[in-house]
Structure 1
Amino acid sequence: MNKPAIKPNKKSTFVSTDDILVMLCKSVTDVLASANANQVTYSALVQKITKTSLKPDIGSFVLFDGGFSGLVVINFSAAAAIEIYQKYMTNMGIPIEELSSQHTSDDVANVMGELLNQILGDFTGLVHKELQTSITQSQPKMLTVNKQLIISIDTNLDRPQARRVTFTTQKGNIFYLEMAMDRTEFIKLHDFVPEEFDPDEIIRGASVQMEESDNNKDKKGPDADQDLLDELGL
């Protein structure tokens, strides 16, 4: 069971975009830990950035909309992706000898996409529970890239804010989470008890979405990745 990402504080009357970023960071650490994929930590310092981007070696992005809009990008180094992938699969009983050692493998992309889907599902649940609003997410897009790609948000943001957080795996490998969203504040009008939710149900829902995405990808054929790059104008 996840602990509340925002601790009750009588002096705190609002939740800022940085508080929402902390919720997302906790979803990353909690999901990877509960899935036995990795024990990761994130930096106590956050970077202010001017734009989000997909970077080598393997990256993914997700758009969200609803109570607030924005974009989440996660960039894994090859070493970090392989470490998380192999840890997750061996904990499921798959021998290490049968696992891929290349971050460009479809198996690695599928597992990382599934974990990201679970992370965003957990984050969506926290938003609904603690902020009493709802957001929807797009299907995660996982790409292996050998050059930097600039990703802009296809939505109207009056006062956009972008942040980057550094994560470190058990073996010391690094990956980065970037989030861009409109500057916003949730002001508490009165005290309330956060609604409880079932994290197992969220994970099951995320897994179903991932299976549907894989089925659609199979139907699209080998041109699916090129179509995605075409959508990005690359």
Structure 2
Amino acid sequence: MTEKLSTIDIVAEIFCQATKKTLDKSTQKSIKYSKTIQVIPDVCLRPELGCFVQFTGDYNGLVVMNFSAGAAMELYRSYMLAMGLPEDSLAKECTSAEVVDTMGEMTNQFMGKAMQMVESKFDLTSYIGQPKALSLNTAITLTPNLDYQDNRRMVFSLETHRFYMEMALEKTEFVVMG
């Protein structure tokens, strides 16, 4: 007997697929994600580089992306080189505005894809705000709303580094009618 997945777990899986598809294409690298989704008590921005964005509409939530310096630089370099920029023109530090802004832009791209995929599957629409990216020395816990009691963490792997998506979703259930 198979266990019915909760709505947040279904949405989390769609977000993982959207992130992989978008980053595979934009970085020309193979991004992997863990088939295990973690239940977590809080959603946090964590060092060295974090990015967050809220989505609102037919369903509401918050996504946080957490990148180590190595993961941010690996994604940034792959993204910029795939666009044809010369190696010698790339930023060298993960705290540079170029790297931080690029992580925000990547987040915007895969969140747009995720919204599109959820709408295609469930006929429900949400809109993302502008992702905010920043370099961090310490973790910051985000509490978007008391109704956001369901939180998940998804793990992504690059060639040599990992990065994380944390998601808070309002208490909701998607029930597809005949």
Shorter-normalised TM-score: what interval?
A: over 0.9
CA 156–150 in structure 1, closer or farther in 2 if over 3 Å, else same? closer
Measure, in 1, the Cα distance between the counterparts of 2:3 and 2:164.
Answer: 29
- Deviation of residue 181 (structure 1)? 0.8
Identify the residue that residue 175 of structure 2 maps to in structure 1. Answer: 187
Q: Does residue 124 of structure 2 align to residue 136 of structure 1?
A: no
8 Å Cα contact 1:38/1:88 also seen in 2: no
- Deviation of residue 36 (structure 1)? 2.7
Measure, in 1, the Cα distance between the counterparts of 2:154 and 2:40.
Answer: 10
Q: Does residue 55 of structure 2 align to residue 64 of structure 1?
A: yes
Amino acid of the structure 1 residue aligned with 2:126: I
Q: Does residue 47 of structure 2 align to residue 49 of structure 1?
A: no
- Give the secondary-structure state (helix, strand or coil) at the position aligned to 1:186: coil
- TM-score between the two structures when normalised by the length of structure 2: 0.93
- Give the secondary-structure state (helix, strand or coil) at the position aligned to 1:83: helix
| 1:92-111 equivalent positions in 2, closer than 5 A | 92-111=83-102
CA 122–64 in structure 1, closer or farther in 2 if over 3 Å, else same? same
Measure, in 2, the Cα distance between the counterparts of 1:131 and 1:13.
Answer: 16
- Deviation of residue 45 (structure 1)? 1.1
Identify the residue that residue 20 of structure 2 maps to in structure 1. Answer: 29
Q: Does residue 167 of structure 2 align to residue 176 of structure 1?
A: no
- TM-score between the two structures when normalised by the length of structure 1: 0.71
Q: Structure 2: where are the runs of 5+ without partners?
A: none
Measure, in 1, the Cα distance between the counterparts of 2:4 and 2:150.
Answer: 21
8 Å Cα contact 1:56/1:144 also seen in 2: yes
Higher Cα Rg, which structure: 1
Identify the residue that residue 76 of structure 1 maps to in structure 2. Answer: 67
- Deviation of residue 32 (structure 1)? 0.4
Identity of aligned residues (%): 33
Measure, in 2, the Cα distance between the counterparts of 1:64 and 1:136.
Answer: 5
8 Å Cα contact 2:154/2:165 also seen in 1: yes
Moved over 4 A (4+): 11-15
Identify the residue that residue 38 of structure 1 maps to in structure 2. Answer: 29
Deviations along 1:119-173, whole A, 9 cap, x unmatched?
11101111211110110111100010001111111x451x620011111102x20
| 1:193-208 equivalent positions in 2, closer than 5 A | none
8 Å Cα contact 1:56/1:146 also seen in 2: yes
Q: Does residue 113 of structure 2 align to residue 122 of structure 1?
A: yes
CA 184–176 in structure 1, closer or farther in 2 if over 3 Å, else same? same
Amino acid of the structure 1 residue aligned with 2:80: M
8 Å Cα contact 2:9/2:37 also seen in 1: no
Q: Aligned-residue CA RMSD in angstroms?
A: 1.9
Higher relative contact order (CA 8 A, sep 6+): 2
Q: Structure 1: where are the runs of 5+ without partners?
A: 1-10, 191-234
